[in-house]
Amino acid sequence: MMATDVVNVKEFQVLAKQKLPKMVYGFYASGAEDEWTLEENERAYQTIRIWPRILLDVSNVDLSTRVLGFDITMPVMIAPTSMHKMAHPDGELATAQAAAAAGTVMVLSTGATSSIEEVAQLNSGIRFFQLYIFNKTNAIQLVQRAEKSGYKAIVLTVDTPRLGHREADKKNRFALPPHLSLKNLIDVVPSQEQQEQIKGSKFETLIACMDQELSWKDVKWLQTVTKLPVLIKGVLTVEATEQALQASVAGIIVSNHGGRQLDHVPATISVLEEIVVAARGRIPVFLDGGIRRGTDIFKALALGASGVFVGRPILFALAIDGETGVKKALQILHDELELTMALAGCCKISDIKRSHVRTLRDRNR
Ligand code: FNR
């Protein structure tokens, strides 16, 4: 198979497995421990059925939507993933060009191999910055850099006080290739030792420098040091949703980090609805994890998501064909969602209702 023959985003992974060094592919593809959650994230979509409406005029299907007040072309955005330059020499720059061309949001990772500023200089695309908090000084610096560079929101990832146990990385002795560096951390993490870890191999040790004491009061604190809206990424429970509401965050992302952190937590799509109910329409609820098809996106929207983020398919598309590859992945997801909507009788995103899907729970009632 060649890049030009790709007809769905899953095929990028097949090609990337052939092309990338084992260590890089392993880092991108793998999950924690038995990878139950990694697999469940995709499998859980298969338990949800779509209930189409017929004989409605679907000659015009409009995917455009609004996220945090920003107009985007479709409710599909790019999740923050680290180290894009291991996939392709253009790294995050290519991903950001593709996102802007597609008219959607890219979230730049704290663990990017391109700097906040380099990515910002490219174009006027809508970008969010994903924050890992190592310490408060570092967090303030990163947030200020993101603000100054025109990023529109901060995505605070809260499911990573320590790194999940990824056995592929252990087996492959995962290390960032020496010609690359985590550019956003290089001058802000203070100690000599931490500097060495960022430059060199020890991603795991670097993450161990993360603030493990991070708590809800720090979420409040973060909102006092930035004007940008703060989204919390890594919510899986009703309880956390209620706490997020209390902390007045701008939104939440239902995420299990693509099955890379705690194994055996539920698939994101299976907890989405109870979280949407708990959010009571007061803040938008987004989702990531296992999105590989337009029908997956449709199901998430029907269950109340305001939009979804895609992780691995973007990395694999980047590995295969750089900016062109990422554009193609986004186009495929766009076209699949458009077709799903037409066949289900939905002309616009707000036409997608809860009654368009039935979950296992509905069927057991
Ligand atoms: C991630 N993810 C992630 N999340 C985050 O908040 N900061 C980060 O730096 C990273 N890095 C990262 C690297 C790689 C290789 C992967 C695969 C994932 C998690 C990511 O944002 C998202 O939650 C998942 O990737 C979504 O699942 P799918 O779409 O990959 O199934």
Considering the chain, what is the average pLDDT of its residues?
95
**Strands 106-108, 127-131: parallel, antiparallel or unpaired by DSSP?**
parallel
pLDDT digits (tens, 9 = 90+) for 320-356: 999 999 999 999 999 999 999 999 999 999 999 999 9
Determine the Cα–Cα distance for residues 233 and 219; give it in Å rounded to an integer: 12
Instruction: Give the Å distances, CA to CA, from 157 to 110, 122, 143, 230, 254.
Output: 10, 25, 13, 10, 11
0.80 cut: is pTM over it?
yes
- 109 CB within 6 A, ligand 1: yes
Can you tell me the mean pLDDT for 2-7? 90
Determine the Cα–Cα distance for residues 257 and 236; give it in Å rounded to an integer: 11
**pLDDT score, position 204:** 67
What is the pLDDT confidence band of residue 363, given thresholds at 50, 70 and 90? confident
Angle 83-314-148 (CA atoms, 0-180°, nearest 5)? Answer: 60
Q: What are phi and psi of 252, to 5 degrees?
A: -130, 150
Can you tell me the mean pLDDT for 306-326? 98
Which atom in ligand 1 lies closest to the alpha carbon of residue 107?
21
**pLDDT score, position 200:** 60
Of 361 and 118, the structure prediction assigns the larger pLDDT to 118
Residue nearest to atom 15 of ligand 1 (CA): 28
Can you tell me the mean pLDDT for 236-243? 98
Residues with Cβ within 8 Å of residue 165, at least 6 apart in sequence:
32, 33, 263
Are the CB atoms for 298 and 320 separated by under 8 Å?
Answer: no
**pLDDT score, position 199:** 65
- 310 CB within 6 A, ligand 1: yes
Position 148 pLDDT exceeds 60 = yes
**pLDDT score, position 188:** 65
Would you state the structure tokens that stand for residue 132, as one six-digit string? Answer: 């890992």
Residue nearest to atom 13 of ligand 1 (CA): 81
Pocket test for ligand 1, best of 81, 116, 296 (most atoms within 8 A of CB): 81
**What residues does 239 pair with on adjacent strands?**
none
Residue nearest to atom 24 of ligand 1 (CA): 258
Provide DSSP, 26-88: HHHH--STT-HHHHHHHHGGGG-EE----S---S--B--EEETTEEESSSEEEPP-S-GGGT-
What is the pLDDT confidence band of residue 197, given thresholds at 50, 70 and 90? low
pLDDT digits (tens, 9 = 90+) for 21-51: 999 999 999 999 999 999 999 999 999 999 9
Position 201 pLDDT exceeds 80 = no
Are the CB atoms for 272 and 309 separated by under 8 Å?
Answer: no
- 157 CB within 6 A, ligand 1: yes
Position 17 pLDDT exceeds 90 = yes
